[in-house]
Homo-oligomer: A and B are copies of this chain.
Amino acid sequence: MPTFRTRRADVLYPEDQYELTEDGRVPVTYQRTAKYQDGNTIDWLHEEDLERERHHALQSQAGTRGVLLPALDSAKMWFIVIATGVAIGLAGAWLDVLVKWLSDLREGRCSHGFFYNSNACCTGLDPGEICHEWQTWGEAFNVTSIFGSSLLQATIYVVLAVVFAGSAATMVVTYAPQAFHTGIPEIKAILGGYVFDAFLSPWTLLIKALGLALTVASGLSLGKEGPLVHVACCMAFFLTRFFKEFRHNEAQKRRLLAAAAAAGVSVAFGSPLGGVLFGLEELDAFASESDVIWRGFVASAVAAVALQWVNPFSTGKLVLFQVTFVSDAWRAFELIPWLTLGVIGGILGSLLIRLNVEIALYRRNSVLRDWPVLEVVCVSAFTAAVCYLIVFARVQTSELVANLFQECDPTKGDYHGLCNPTATGQNIFLLCLTAVLKIVLTAWTFGMMVPAGIFLPTIGIGACLGRAMGLVMQSLYRAYPMAWIFQSCPPDPSVRCISPGFYAVIGASAMLGGVTRMTISLVVILFELTGALSHVLPIMISVMTAKWVGDALGKDGIYSVWIAMRRYPWIPPVEYRDRGETGANIMKPLSEIIVIEDCVTTVKDLKALLVEHSFHGFPVIDSHGEFVGYATRQALAGGLDRLQLDQDTDRNKKCTFSKNRSRIPADERIDLEFTLEDSIIQLRKEVPQELVVNVFQKLNLRQILFTHSGKLVGLVTKRDIVNLMTAHFPHDAALADPPQVPHR
């Protein structure tokens, strides 16, 4: 005969008032203590249970309510997905406009309106007409001497950089310390079940968005991509607050956050497909659930439509760095420089990661720890001063990348002499110098108390190196057009054979591969970013090479490294191979576990237990050591609260959780069986460790209980698995405590 589960108390929200009459239970006063605190890990199976029971309760409503309520439920979910998409699309566009205006302000101002950026100031001119409305600061203040004008320009350039970066850092340090850094490691941990509500608060949202615009405009070596993902997740989190079915269910909330993250990437790169794939590969968020992928897909598309509708740069295109290739075909010999770029990307990517880790450790363990704002001010002043001197570093990285990806076209003008064949040597030197400078600056900047993404600077470094390699190849071809290696080029040397712009794209892919160790999503993002579809194969090959080389030098990408340093409970989706160990090797044995004894533990004991231990839940065993069940502290506290056991007579009653209760007279016992979890995974302690890790990875568990012949023998939690997986990393937990902000 089918046995149906009974509904449990904590399915219900405070708003729900109902009577549980079937089994004679009394109405519930909802336990208002939050289920999880920041720093906890959610119990997916428990959350899924609640959702299932809620869903079941909705569907079993009589008449049209049974049809309408589930439909309304689904409508709410789609509302959040679509609203998040629209909101992040608009926010992304607004951010672009703000950044453009702020960074132009460092160069000059518009004479017919302070709030116009340089492009908006000069629109409506006929071709060839010179724009007089946009004035450099020298012109605006009527400084005529070249020296004075240059000095004024440089001073304003540096001072504004410091002002922007300093104010961003002050805001972050004072109001929302969680708004620093990229946010991707935290999002990965949160989507895996980590509870970190402060990280997603509206306050963080505001500071991160505003601070991001300021830091990007300040010219620090950072990008907006990761922080935008964080902002999108904050938005979705904010929206979930208005719907109790998402506010109270951590699993459902995370499904929506995954869609929001995809939308964030979609807006950051103008890459709707890349967003979905990023969610799939890097965030490991969708866990192959096709309807969650589907939501990410919709959110991404909506966000991209919203961005395109606002059209912040009036190009009508999503593609950020349009690439135009001289020839559609590439030649086999070009694989040699491209593979070389892949190797360089892998090596420099690993170097960047290592440098970044060292600087982060130094920052934490030195006097810098106490002066975060001062650090930002100094670094931004240094960045601005040095970059002002190097022509390729002076502009925004996004502008630099767009120009490096562009082929030389005599009709379009020459970007800082990049296409001048007589200056090739000088250009190669400058590009390499810029790359080295950016590596050092990025390694330092990524981790300061400002919002900072790593994507764009990495693309910039790679594009510089790639373009340099392209110039080398081009000058080789010009010098020896008849050499054996170039025989597949057209015989006429005036026809171009090498496209240095595409070499820059390859360089960027290789560098990104080395730093992030992503594969497919990276390729998709890159070719959505550039439109370089016919050249997808070389991009794939360079990413592959960079990842191989990088993995040989250090197993983890930059996000994994930060997750390990900050000790978030996140299990990487990589294959784990044990060396013959079983579950018994990793479990905490019964002797070290706090358990509740069925028919033995009294109400008084139980209350003491709940006060004394902060564990998320407790296994229940009977007097023979046999496993009875598992109850969360929340369910136990709620149960005790609900039964109103305040009289002294109740204090010595035994708690019963199973049929053993018949052994105890009815007036000496309290039945708490309803507090036990439905969904508990138990394994035998003999199972291979590999399978234990795999079950944790695939089912997103919080704990597994080990039994032998029905008796509880041990327990393993997610934290144990995380420790196992990060054991190879030397700086595990180096930044585990949240950033200190002593000097507000």
Q: Is A308 an interface residue when CB atoms closer than 8 A count as contact?
A: yes
Report yes or no: A580 in contact with B681, Cβ–Cβ below 8 A. Answer: no
Contact with B along A672-690 (1 / 0, CB 8 A): 0000001111111011101
Report yes or no: A48 in contact with B690, Cβ–Cβ below 8 A. Answer: yes
Report yes or no: B277 in contact with A288, Cβ–Cβ below 8 A. Answer: no
Report yes or no: B297 in contact with A544, Cβ–Cβ below 8 A. Answer: yes
Pick from A12-20, A489-497, A501-509, A706-714 the stretch touching chain B: A706-714
Give the chain B neighbours of A289 by CB distance below 8 A. 573, 575
Give the chain B neighbours of A699 by CB distance below 8 A. 694-695, 698-699
Q: Is A244 an interface residue when CB atoms closer than 8 A count as contact?
A: no
Give the chain B neighbours of A577 by CB distance below 8 A. 52, 55
Contact with B along A322-353 (1 / 0, CB 8 A): 00000011000000000000000000000000
**Considering only CB atoms, which chain B residue lies closest to A305 in the complex?**
B537
Q: Is A487 an interface residue when CB atoms closer than 8 A count as contact?
A: no
Give the chain B neighbours of A301 by CB distance below 8 A. 537, 540-541, 544
Given A288-B288, A536-B272, A691-B45, verify A520-B56 contact (CB < 8 Å).
no
Give the chain B neighbours of A695 by CB distance below 8 A. 681, 699
Give the chain B neighbours of A709 by CB distance below 8 A. 626-627, 710
What is the count of identical protomers in the complex?
A: 2
Report yes or no: A690 in contact with B305, Cβ–Cβ below 8 A. Answer: no
**Considering only CB atoms, which chain B residue lies closest to A524 in the complex?**
B273
Pick from A2-10, A97-105, A375-383, A385-393 the stretch touching chain B: A2-10
Report yes or no: B319 in contact with A534, Cβ–Cβ below 8 A. Answer: yes
Distance between A576 CB and nearest chain B CB, rounded to angstroms: 10
Could you say which interface size class chain A belongs to?
Answer: 35 or more
Give the chain B neighbours of A281 by CB distance below 8 A. 290, 293
Contact with B along A268-284 (1 / 0, CB 8 A): 00001100110011001
- Bound: A528/B532 CA distance, A: 11
- Bound: A55/B301 CA distance, A: 44
Pick from A581-589, A610-618, A645-653 the stretch touching chain B: A581-589
- Bound: A272/B291 CA distance, A: 25
Given A281-B293, A304-B537, 5 additional A-B pairs, CB 8 A: A3-B585, A288-B697, A293-B519, A678-B686, A679-B687
Seen from chain A, the residues whose Cβ lies within 8 Å of a Cβ on chain B are: 2-5, 45, 48-49, 52-53, 55-56, 59, 272-273, 276-277, 280-281, 284, 287-291, 293-294, 297-298, 300-301, 304-305, 308, 316-319, 328-329, 519-520, 523-524, 527-528, 531, 533-534, 536-537, 540-541, 544, 547, 573-575, 577-582, 584-585, 626-627, 678-684, 686-688, 690-691, 694-695, 697-699, 707, 709-711
Top 10 nearest A-B pairs by Cβ distance?
A710-B710, A698-B698, A316-B329, A4-B580, A2-B585, A709-B710, A301-B540, A679-B691, A531-B533, A3-B584
